[in-house]
Amino acid sequence: MKLKKLITTILTIAILTMPMLAFASAETLPAGYAGNSDALIDIKNPEAAVTSTTSKICVVSAVAVSGTTVTLYTYDNASGKYVKMYSDGKALESVVGAAGLYAQSVELKSGANTILVVANSGDATETIKLDITLLKNDFAESLRSIWQTLINY
């Protein structure tokens, strides 16, 4: 009797956690990973796929199909793979709500940051690569000074 109850409990836990396991995204993805759709997500910020900033925090925002799971990955030069991003121990992964809006703050490292946005809904997957360069403030000031000189010339 106790064995039957134990087996029932184990099966119940397995069945209840199966959907969570099935929808969990991979911890790493190969460098050439690509999706099979282009209709799940539309990135609004940053405005371009290749950009630079002096702000250490970048908010990735988008409009996406409700129910789509969006996961952010960063490219790791050492392994040659994309690695799932975390903040305070929590994966940068969420499901888009009924309004279809998505936003996630990302802390940039100095220099080049390659971020892969992966949107999944059912059998459809869309990937968008963002190349964001975090500039040092003194470099940005130098560029601004040169630009002002050219404008006033």
Q: What is the pLDDT of residue 20?
A: 38
Q: What is the pLDDT of residue 4?
A: 59
Residue 46, number of CB atoms within 10 A of its CB: 18
Residue holding tokens 């069945």?
15
Residue 7 belongs to a domain with what CATH number?
A: 2.60.40.10
Angle 7-11-14 (CA atoms, 0-180°, nearest 5)?
A: 140
> Could you report the average pLDDT of every consecutive run of 10 residues in the chain (153 residues)?
56 44 76 95 97 96 98 97 97 97 97 97 97 82 66 70
Strand 50-53 relative to strand 124-134, pairing: parallel
Count of the separate structural domains present in the chain: 1
Residue 113, number of CB atoms within 10 A of its CB: 19
Strand 111-121 relative to strand 124-134, pairing: antiparallel
Q: What is the pLDDT of residue 136?
A: 87
Answer yes or no: pTM beyond 0.95: no
Domain extent at residue 127: 2-152
Q: What is the pLDDT of residue 143?
A: 63
